[in-house]
Amino acid sequence: MTVHLIGAGPGDPDLLTVRAAELVRAADVVVSDRPSSDPVVALAPARAERVLVGKVPASGGAPARRALPQDEVCRLLVDLGRSGREVVRLKSGDPFVAARGGEEALALQAAGVPFTVVPGISAGFAAPAFAGIPVHVRQLSRVVTILAGNVDDEYPGEIDFEALARLGGTIVVLTGRSRIRRIAGALLAAGMPADTPVAAISAAGRAGAQETIRGTLAALPPRLPAPVTFVIGTVAGIDLDWFADGRSSVVTADDALAPVWPRDDGSSPAGDGVVPEPARAARAPHTADGPPSPGDGARARSQDASVAHRAPAADSPSATGEEPTRAHP
């Protein structure tokens, strides 16, 4: 018996790999992080034990519950792996991309517990695709950077935003919903243009729930329900508009969020207050009617990018039932 670290993709069971679906359907135990994985968990046999280890919001009179600390999750997987049962550990997206699956694999390896890894579709690629944003268009972006946007004391160091801004290309921000204003401010302070397109994608791939709002680094999309993936770069202005069950719009002046600039010492403010933009920073051009609309840069880049995508230059390089459930205390 073994532990299977499985990438659940963006949450739609139809987007699981064949191997992942087979293992879930044969599982004795399924360990998941959040209720949003329930459609995938529902593929498991009714006899299978369900273990929810992530944060659960208050609902229906039931109190909210904190997430199990990561070291306890690792110990739980080791214990389950030694129980003689087939254990499926579901991770959103891909288990090794901003999902802590690497830590869990290392813990299982150190304990001598057999495990397998089943890659999944990372939100870093699935969310932009559902929003009609190709992260790679040869004429527009050669590099894609995946950025974990949250704050964690165990990260090995701070992000070099000057290097990131110089690198350019496409930046995809995961786990950055509460930090996107600071990330935008840091990129602006590092010299990235204020009219660089930014797209915020909520509930990617979920029919009726997906919402995409486009803005710029200087006029960010408003806060959307989690999970949210952000795309920064020229391609974020593209809208292929193929997913009929999602909503798409451009940020308005009333809804736009301002970036939070780093302080002079390089640190970000602790709160959400906006630090005044330094005089040296590049500003988006004003029009005769006043400041530019927050969507102007995104719309212009979208049109340019769409043209480039359609006609590149000839010389360019070419669910359910009763089931036993266990929740951690």
Report, as residue numbers or ranges, the catalytic residues: 33, 55
What is d(CA 135, CA 211) in angstroms, rounded to the nearest whole number?
18
Radius of gyration over every alpha carbon of the chain, rounded to an integer in angstroms: 22
What is d(CA 278, CA 276) in angstroms, rounded to the nearest whole number?
6
Residue of 312, 285, 281, 310 lying closest to 296 (CA atoms)? 285
3-state helix, strand, coil in the chain (%, to 5): 25, 20, 55
Chain-centroid distance of CA 65 in Å reads 23
CA distances from 236 to 2, 53, 148, 169, 243 (A): 41, 34, 18, 11, 16
User: Residue 43: CB partners within 8 Å, gap ≥ 6?
Assistant: 13, 16, 21, 24, 25
CA distances from 126 to 10, 23, 37 (A): 7, 22, 16
- Strands 170-174, 228-232: parallel, antiparallel or unpaired by DSSP? antiparallel
Q: Which residues pair with 13 in a beta bridge?
A: none
